[in-house]
């Protein structure tokens, strides 16, 4: 089945493909590098899109560029905490949150995107340091997401969040292409 035009706008790089088993060390290294580079790439992309462009949605009914940047900060903070929980508890049940409702909160409109970009720089520095020091056994630790009723390994979460950064970079890129 071919993707619809809405699917292409919503998932410009496709949907994430989670591994069934452990990642190879070289795969992890490449994904961690993507996370390390994401704050700088988001900052550069935000500059390219520009202030007016960030006020536009990347697709009809979608978030604005501003909302996307604040969302990435919210989402990656949550993931960082999920890693820490999985590393210190046995298969913890994580707390889901309503991403769309968070994107509509008043701080998203009132806070300059530079605040979330700075936050991401610090967060990713800390997160990447943690990831670079995990053992093979730690990568296989899990957490349970009650929203999708799924247990995920930290390897799978790495794949998902590296994808997540690229996914939203593509959304911002589409704002440039729309000009």
Q: 174 lies in a domain?
A: no
Token duo for residue 85: 């929980």
Token duo for residue 15: 């949907």
- Domain residue limits at 162: 69-169
Any idea what the CATH number is for the domain that residue 141 is in? Answer: 1.20.120.450
Instruction: Report the length, in residues, of the chain.
Output: 179
Q: Angle at the Cα of 100 (from 40 to 123), degrees rounded to 5?
A: 30
How many angstroms separate the CA atoms of 86 and 93, rounded? 9
Q: 32 lies in a domain?
A: no
- Count of domains for the chain: 1
pLDDT (tens digit per residue) in 95-113: 999 999 999 999 999 999 9
Q: 31 lies in a domain?
A: no
Q: 179 lies in a domain?
A: no
Burial label for 170, CB within 10 Å (0-12, 13-18, 19+), is middle
pLDDT (tens digit per residue) in 125-160: 999 999 999 999 999 999 999 999 999 999 999 999
**pTM for this predicted structure:** 0.95
Q: 75 lies in a domain?
A: yes
Q: 122 lies in a domain?
A: yes
Q: 99 lies in a domain?
A: yes
Token duo for residue 96: 């889901």
> Which segments of the chain are extended strands (E)?
142-145, 150-153
**In the predicted structure, residue 2 carries a pLDDT above the cut 80:** no
Model pLDDT, residue 3: 67
Q: 178 lies in a domain?
A: no
Averaged pLDDT score across all residues of the chain: 95
CA distances 98 to 42, 103, 117, 123, 175, Å, are 23, 9, 21, 21, 24
């Amino acid at each position: 089945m071919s993707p619809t035009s809405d699917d292409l706008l919503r998932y410009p790089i496709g949907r994430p493909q989670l591994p069934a088993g452990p990642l190879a060390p070289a795969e992890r290294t490449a994904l961690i590098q993507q996370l390390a580079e994401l704050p700088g790439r988001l900052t550069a992309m935000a500059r390219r899109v520009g202030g007016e462009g960030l006020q536009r949605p990347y697709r009809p009914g979608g978030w604005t560029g501003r909302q996307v940047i604040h969302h990435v900060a919210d989402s990656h903070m949550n993931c960082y905490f999920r890693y820490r929980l999985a590393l210190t508890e046995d298969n913890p049940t994580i707390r889901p949150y309503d991403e769309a409702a968070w994107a509509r909160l008043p701080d998203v409109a009132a806070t300059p995107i530079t605040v979330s970009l700075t936050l991401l720089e610090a967060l990713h520095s800390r997160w990447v340091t943690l990831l670079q020091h995990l053992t093979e056994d730690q990568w296989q630790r899990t957490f349970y997401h009650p929203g999708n009723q799924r247990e995920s390994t930290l390897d799978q979460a790495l794949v998902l969040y590296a994808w997540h950064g690229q996914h939203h970079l593509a959304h911002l890129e589409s704002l440039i292409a729309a000009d």
